[in-house]
């Protein structure tokens, strides 16, 4: 019973401790409207009893800006006595879990083109101050919407080993993603992160919109390009603080 209480506690905590608006693993290129909020809860399942939690909360600042808070890379093992695990050993990076602030700015450069520049930065959680390190993930993406149904985005990123693992200490790479609306309710989505580190994965999936504020996505998590990672299943829940289908 105690392990289920622990799971419930951390799920509740992650819901209250909400980041940047993402596809599955990369920024979506969307900006949260001024004075509105967006929340995303994601679980990556590697086995039926082994998963990872990622929680994101975003607030719209206006004029193409939004900011947020991310509680990410929290491993959960349902069958273990210690439900929640962490790593604050600098000899075994990446470190986790992480509490990261985010900031993003978007520029409209043409009728179907936008450019987003953003950052996520913050420490790993540890009960020892000496074991805390700063993780960061900086990026720029170009978003192209050839029609109301389709969006493609791509761009470079620079991160450190605290966030993605290493060596080397710093990682530079490329990421890309897509969204395609089959209809108002059904959406196809996928993304890719280059490299040979812990974040170098591909996810392909689809989602369905319930009402005007809630979306549920399922995706296949593939160990590509880093084939040493595990395959898995992604479950993602998005909640919008406004009727986004009506804006």
Task: Extract the tokens encoding 55.
Answer: 């929680």
pLDDT digits (tens, 9 = 90+) for 25-82: 999 989 999 999 999 999 999 998 899 999 999 999 999 999 999 999 999 998 877 7
Specify burial of residue 16 (Cβ count, 10 A radius: 0-12, 13-18, 19+): exposed
SS3 state at 161: helix
pLDDT digits (tens, 9 = 90+) for 156-186: 999 999 999 989 999 999 999 999 999 999 9
Q: Which residues contact 174 (CB under 8 A, 6 or more apart)?
A: 154, 155, 156, 157, 194
Q: Which residues contact 59 (CB under 8 A, 6 or more apart)?
A: 32, 35, 36, 37, 66, 67, 68
Would you say how long the chain is, in residues?
247
Of the CA atoms within 13 Å of residue 195, those in its CB half-sphere come to 26
pLDDT digits (tens, 9 = 90+) for 72-123: 999 999 887 778 999 999 999 999 999 999 999 999 999 999 999 999 999 9
Residue 247's pLDDT is what?
56
Structural domains of the chain in order of their starting residue, each with its CATH number: 2-246 (2.40.160.40)
């Amino acid at each position: 019973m105690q392990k289920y209480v622990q799971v419930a506690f951390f799920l509740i905590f992650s819901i209250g401790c909400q980041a940047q608006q993402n596809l599955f693993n990369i920024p979506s290129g969307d900006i949260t409207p001024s004075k509105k909020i967006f929340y995303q809860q994601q679980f990556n399942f590697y086995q039926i009893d082994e998963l990872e939690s990622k929680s994101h909360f975003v607030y719209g600042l206006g004029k193409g800006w939004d900011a947020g808070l991310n509680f990410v890379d929290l491993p959960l093992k349902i069958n273990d006595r210690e439900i929640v695990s962490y790593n604050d050993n600098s000899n075994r990076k990446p470190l986790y879990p992480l509490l990261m602030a985010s900031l993003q700015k978007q520029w409209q450069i043409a009728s179907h083109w936008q450019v987003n520049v953003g950052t996520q930065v913050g420490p790993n959680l540890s009960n020892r101050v000496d074991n805390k390190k700063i993780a960061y993930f900086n990026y720029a993406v170009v978003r192209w919407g050839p029609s109301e149904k389709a969006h493609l985005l791509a761009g470079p990123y620079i991160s450190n080993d605290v966030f993605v693992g290493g060596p080397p200490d710093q990682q530079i790479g490329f990421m890309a993603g897509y969204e395609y609306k089959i209809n108002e309710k059904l959406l196809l989505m996928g993304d890719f992160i280059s490299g040979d580190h812990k974040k170098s994965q591909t996810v392909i999936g689809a989602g369905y919109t319930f009402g005007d504020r809630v979306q549920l996505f399922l995706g296949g998590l593939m160990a590509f390009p880093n084939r040493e990672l595990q395959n898995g299943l992604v479950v993602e829940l998005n909640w919008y603080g406004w009727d986004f289908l009506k804006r």
